[in-house]
Amino acid sequence: MNGFTNRQQLLAEMRNGQSLDWDVIVVGGGITGAGVLREAQRRGYKALLLEQQDFSWGTSSRSSKMVHGGLRYLAAGDLKLTKESVVERERLLTEAPGLVDRIAFYFTFRKGLFPGRFAMTVILAIYDFLASIRDHRYCNNDQLLKQFPGLDQTNLKGASYYTDAMVDDSRLVMRVLQDSIDDGAHALNYTKVNNLIIENDKVCGVAIEDIDNNSVIELRAAAVINATGAWADRLRNEVNSETRIRPLRGSHIIIPKSLYPVSNVMTFLHHDDKRGVYVYPWEGTTVLGTTDLDHAEDLDIEASISDQETDYLLNAFNLQFPNNSLTRADIISTWAGVRPVIGAEQGKNPSKERRDHAVWSDNGLITVSGGKLTTFRLIALDALAAAAAQLPTPASVVNDAMFVTPDFSASDLLPNNPKWAQRLLGRYGNKARTLLQESASNEQLSLGDTEFCMAECRWAIKHEAVQHLDDLLLRRTRLGMCLPRGGDDLYPALKALFATERQWNDQRWETEINRYNAIWNTYYSLPNNP
């Protein structure tokens, strides 16, 4: 199979009374839901994933893009979460090179601030021990300034070097979903679950909107798994009135790489609240992040950065790099995501909340929420374990690798450009070869300072369940976030691709342009952008 679930075919089968019974229905198309689908399918279950927006529309396209163990969790004494995270990090680095890549971090020290060099050395020694690697050292000011020129040297006492990893979170979701679908699972985006089906006080399915027919389709399942993240309470409240999710917003700023080019990550403590801030490279740009605030807004409206958060991040950078001072005019774009944290104490500092996950079973509904991007596989396994009593005997898992290993190497794919080939293999697996074969050579050129190309746009439009222009520019690729003005220079070429691959006429194109511009200006630009 080249692409995702055939939406029209599956819905037609459901309308005709087919494909109404499933072993597992997963509600939520972020990384947790994708992980549950993957693990359910490999155990031989007939599995379906439903997402009310686009795949990875919520938290899973708006993280800080880091696959890490969480040093602050270790510093807080959470050894279990740190151990799980660093082991999963190393596993992802091994299984998905080109998608998950190791990167250097530099944690700077300044006189009078905690932690200092000795404390960080101890913490990093434990961190590396848990991951079965040795990858940390101390860097003096001269070494640090070679990596980050212009860094303010006032009270600067060097830095600790260590490594974690970076990922395109949305592409991670897409790769997990694609491998699941190739194995026989099904996934539908833009398919809303209206409500649970409850019989004899037990959840036995879901009712979904069939927008095309203005009707409702009822689907039955041995197990319904609620993996909706920050939205988890909403569905769970149909069977349990408890509120457990504390939505926390983290916002980021993207600036052109030319203004401050970095190839590694610098992390330091914000002068206002002593919270960690990062400056790091991403997709040909430089990113500043993140914040950590309660998010009280409507979760169905996309999260966006506030004026206060914008100032917070700009001020943090400008104090560290006074000779490279930034203003709002320098910002290419922004993004904000909502973390589904399991709230413990009312009024507790958001940054003090634990980041582990929780699983609840209520009248047959399994709800899973919280946790970290890095540990999505373990979260999925816990959710399925909670549903085990409701499910048939699973098939034996012969190979527990999250990803299907490509049949060819990067040097086989592109002998003259193995680095880019590895990137394609990490993101598309075996489909990387077909992606190149289905595109012209001029479509394989990098766009702007990014490593994205028009061949990837063609592939996504044709094979990756793209329903709207924003799906393509904000999630399948990140061109809308990494190019000036939301990537509007690409509009003519993209219009031609959509006309060829999806038969969009001028009216549909104008509708999509208006929709995309409204989304970008409201949620991915500066606050109050006209």
**Domain for residue 134, yes or no?**
yes
* Residue 432 covered by a domain: no
Measured CA to CA, the distance from residue 316 to residue 135 in angstroms comes to: 28
pLDDT band at 130 (very low <50, low <70, confident <90, very high): very high
Percent of the chain at pLDDT > 90 equals 92
In a shared domain, residues 277 and 191 = no
Q: Is residue 192 one of the residues assigned to a domain?
A: yes
- Give the mean model confidence (pLDDT) for residues 200-218: 95
In a domain, 284, yes or no: yes
pLDDT of residue 76: 76
- 326 and 288 assigned to the same domain: yes
Indicate whether 107 pLDDT > 90: yes
* Half-sphere exposure for 220 (CA within 13 Å, toward CB): 6
pLDDT 10s digits, 232-275: 999 999 999 999 999 999 999 999 999 999 999 999 999 999 99
Task: Write down the pLDDT at residue 398.
Answer: 87
pLDDT at 489: 98
Are 155 and 251 in a shared domain? yes
Structure tokens at 261: 């080019």
pLDDT the model gives residue 181: 97
DSSP labels, 46-107:
-EEEE-SSSTT-SGGGSS--EE---HHHHHTT-HHHHHHHHHHHHHHHHH-TTTEEEEEEEE
Write out the two tokens for 379.
């979260």
Are both 266 and 365 inside the same structural domain?
A: no
pLDDT the model gives residue 405: 93
The string of pLDDT tens digits covering residues 341-382 is 997 555 566 665 666 899 999 999 999 999 999 999 999 999
Lowest-pLDDT choice from 161-175, 192-206, 331-345, 413-427: 331-345
Q: Which of 279, 314, 344 is the last residue of a domain?
A: 344
Cα separation, 312 vs 209, in Å, equals 41
Q: At 60, is the pLDDT very low, low, confident or very high (cuts 50, 70, 90)?
A: very high
Question: What pLDDT does 212 receive?
Answer: 85
Q: Do both 330 and 262 map to the same domain?
A: yes
pLDDT digits (tens, 9 = 90+) for 325-336: 999 999 999 999
Average of pLDDT values for 499-514?
Answer: 98
pLDDT given at position 345? 53
Q: Are residues 366 and 327 part of one domain?
A: no
Task: Say what the pLDDT of residue 528 is.
Answer: 81
Residue range of the domain that includes 38: 7-59+170-244+354-390
71-104, pLDDT tens digit by residue? 878 877 888 889 999 999 999 999 999 999 999 9
Q: Return the pLDDT at 206.
A: 98
> What integer pLDDT is reported at residue 75 of this predicted model?
75
Residues 446 and 509 in one domain: yes
Question: Is there a domain that residue 520 lies in?
Answer: yes
**pLDDT of 142 over the 80 cut:** yes
Q: What is the CATH number of the domain that holds 235?
A: 3.50.50.60
- Which carries the bigger pLDDT value, residue 266 or residue 116? 266
| Least trusted range by pLDDT, from 1-5, 191-195, 250-254 | 1-5
What's the mean per-residue pLDDT of the chain?
Answer: 95
The reported pLDDT for the residue numbered 72 is 77
Residues 136 and 218 in one domain: no
Torsion sign across C-alpha atoms 480, 4, 45, 220? positive
In a domain, 404, yes or no: no
Does residue 70 register a pLDDT over 90? no
Give residue 114's pLDDT: 85
Residues 174 and 271 in one domain: no
Q: DSSP letter at 23?
A: E
Residue 114: which CATH number? Answer: 3.30.9.10
Please tell me the total count of domains within the chain.
Answer: 3
Given CA atoms 29, 35, 41, 47 in this order, what sign does their dihedral have? negative
Q: Is residue 2 part of a domain?
A: no
Residue 512 lies in a domain: yes
Residues 268 and 283 in one domain: yes
Nearest to residue 289, comparing CAs of 259, 318, 264, 309?
309
- Report the distance separating Cα 223 and Cα 391, nearest Å: 7
One domain for residues 255 and 221: no
Rounded Cα distance, 320 and 150, in Å: 8
The percent of residues in the chain predicted with pLDDT above 70, rounded, is 97
Query: Are 286 and 210 found together in one domain?
Result: no
Give φ, ψ of 219 to 5 degrees: -115, 135
Average pLDDT over residues 516-528: 96
CB of 114 within 8 A of CB of 275? no
Per-residue pLDDT reduced to its tens digit, 278-310: 999 999 999 999 999 999 999 999 999 999 999
Q: For the chain, how big is the Rg over CA atoms in Å?
A: 23
